[in-house]
Amino acid sequence: MSVSAASPRRLKAQPVGVLLPLALVVLAILVAFTLVPGLIAPHNPIALAMSDRLKPPSLLHPFGTDEGGRDVFSRVVFGARYSLGVAIAIVFVSALFGVLYGALSGMAGGRLDNLMMRIVDLFFGFPALVLALAIAASMGRGLGSVALSLSLIWWPGYARLVRGEVLRLRERPHVEAARALGVSRFVILLRHIIPFVVQEVNVRITTDIGYALVAVTALSFLGLGANSPTPEWGLLIRDSRPYFGSAWWYLVFPGAMIMMTATASSIIGDALASRRPG
């Protein structure tokens, strides 16, 4: 669940300024992991290599190996497309739906707007994890059901955000003027309102990706998400538990990866926020 931080112009972007390049580097790395894992990962993430079982980090295996002798670093690299990929998909789908919904609601106004927002309230109150459990129970486990349940949880945030913005922008002088001139509501929405809304939404999307990633990995950790041997990060952490005392690297590195990704998304989101006008 995310709440974007409002930053008045007075706030200097100092710490963010220092970290932003780092975050962008992380972003670049992640993009590489997602798009061309085969080029980056030094070893096969799935093939068993028992003689290398549970080896600590070394030059050959920077993140060590797991119980099947597989290189943890390679698994993390290949896992990016599952963990991060699903997170991004969730955020984009919910944003898309939420934005449309919120925009329509805001433009419609009156009773319809009220009703639509009540429905949003309903979704807001629904406990995320329980919904995930219930959907996993009926649809079966897997990244698909995780994506579905998390999307259902995420879209209300965007709906509310956009509706709020639309309501605010509707009252602006230039919009009122356009209305007075007889411009259709739809065109107003498209040309005068959406561009401003998009900026807000972008900030939120960026930070939300980090939150969504954590949520996806949490559900995999509970056993609701990906299945072996998919190197999804949350699943890696779950698989690492029986060996933790003997192989700390198996738990630490995937977790650090999640943390780094989420923090980077947070920093970039913050940077976007401080850049937007008023």
Partner 1 sequence: MKGLQRISGIALVMLLGAVSPALAETGLTFVYADAGEPSTIDPAKANINWELTVTRNVYDRLVDFDLSDPSRLLPALATEWKQDGKTWTFKLRDGVKFHNGATFDATDVKATLDRLLKIGQGQSYLVDDIESVTVVDPLTVKIETKAPTVFLASNLSRIEMLSHEDIAKHGDDLAQAWFNDHANGTGPYEFVSWTRGAQIELKRNDKWWGKFPDKPFDRVIDRFVTDGANRARGVEGGEFDLANFVPLDEALRISSESGFHLVEGNNLWAWPAIYLNMDLAPTNNKDFRNALVKAFDYNAMLQSYQGKAVTPRGPVPSWFPGSPEKDEPEIKTDLAAAKAALAASGISNAKMKCSVPAGFPEFRFAATVLQSSAAQLGVTVEIEELPFVEAITTIKTDKSNCFVLGNANLSPTDATKFFAAHYLKGGFYNSGKFFDPTLQDLIAKLPTVSDPAEREKLLKQAADIVVNAHYIIWTARPKTVVPEPDRIGGYRIDPAEYINARFWELHSNS
Partner 2 sequence: MVGFLLRRLVWGLLVLLSVAVITFILSRVVPADPAAFLAGQNASEATVQRIRVEHGLDRPLPAQFVSYMAGLARGDLGESIRTRRSVSADLAQYLPATLELLFVSFVFYLAISFFLAALAARRPGGAVDGVIRLLTMVGTGIPVFWLGMTLQFVFFYKLHWLPLDARFPIRESAPPVVTGFLLVDSLLAGSLTAFFGSLQHLALPAATIVINLLAVGTRLTRAALIREQDRLYVRTARGKGLSPRRILFKHMLRNALSPILTATTMQFGYMISWVILVEVIFDWPGIGLYAYQSFQVFDYSPVIALALVSTAGFVIINLAMDLIYPIIDPRVQSVGA
Joined together, the tokens standing for residue 271 give 């940077």
Cis before 229? omega within 30: yes
Whether the CB-CB separation of 254 and 221 falls below 8 Å is answered with: no
Applying the rule CB under 8 A, the residues between 47 and 66 that interact with partner 1 are 47-48, 50-51, 53-54
Our CB check for partner 1 shows the closer of 100 and 129 to be: 129
**How far, in Å, CA of 233 to CA of 249, rounded?**
13
**Shortest separation between residue 3's beta carbon and partner 2, angstroms:** 6
Q: According to the binding rule CB under 8 A, does residue 3 interact with partner 2? A: yes
Our CB check for partner 2 shows the closer of 1 and 112 to be: 1
Q: According to the binding rule CB under 8 A, does residue 203 interact with partner 2? A: no
Whether the CB-CB separation of 264 and 23 falls below 8 Å is answered with: yes
In sequence order, the 6+-apart residues with CB closer than 8 A to the CB of 24 are: 264, 268
Among 239, 264, 266, 269, binds partner 1 (CB under 8 A): 239
Our CB check for partner 1 shows the closer of 135 and 166 to be: 135
Applying the rule CB under 8 A, the residues between 140 and 169 that interact with partner 2 are 140
CA 55 to chain centre: 32
First and final CA of the chain: distance in angstroms?
Answer: 24
Buried residues in 62-95 as b, exposed as e (16+ CB within 10 A): ebbbbbbbbbbbbbbbbbbbbbbbbbbbbbebbb
Q: According to the binding rule CB under 8 A, does residue 262 interact with partner 2? A: yes
Q: Which does 164 bind (CB under 5 to 8 A by kind): partner 2, partner 1, none?
A: none
Among 17, 21, 42, 242, binds partner 1 (CB under 8 A): 242
In the 3-class helix/strand/coil scheme, how is 174-208 assigned residue by residue?
HHHHHHHCCCCHHHHHHHHHHHHHHHHHHHHHHHH
Q: Tell me the C-alpha to C-alpha distance, in Å, between residue 201 and each of 60, 176, 196.
A: 43, 23, 9
Q: According to the binding rule CB under 8 A, does residue 241 interact with partner 1? A: yes
Question: x/- contact string, 84-123, with partner 2 (CB under 8 A)?
Answer: ------------------------------x--xx--xx-
Joined together, the tokens standing for residue 192 give 């005068």
**Shortest separation between residue 45's beta carbon and partner 1, angstroms:** 12
**How far, in Å, CA of 55 to CA of 251, rounded?**
13
Our CB check for partner 2 shows the closer of 193 and 267 to be: 267
Task: Return residues touching partner 2 (CB under 8 A).
Answer: 1-3, 5-8, 10-12, 14-16, 19, 114, 117-118, 121-122, 124-131, 133-135, 137-138, 140, 210-211, 214, 217-218, 221-222, 234, 237, 241, 244-245, 248, 251-252, 255, 258-267, 270
Task: Return residues touching partner 1 (CB under 8 A).
Answer: 46-48, 50-51, 53-54, 67-68, 141, 223, 227-229, 239, 241-247
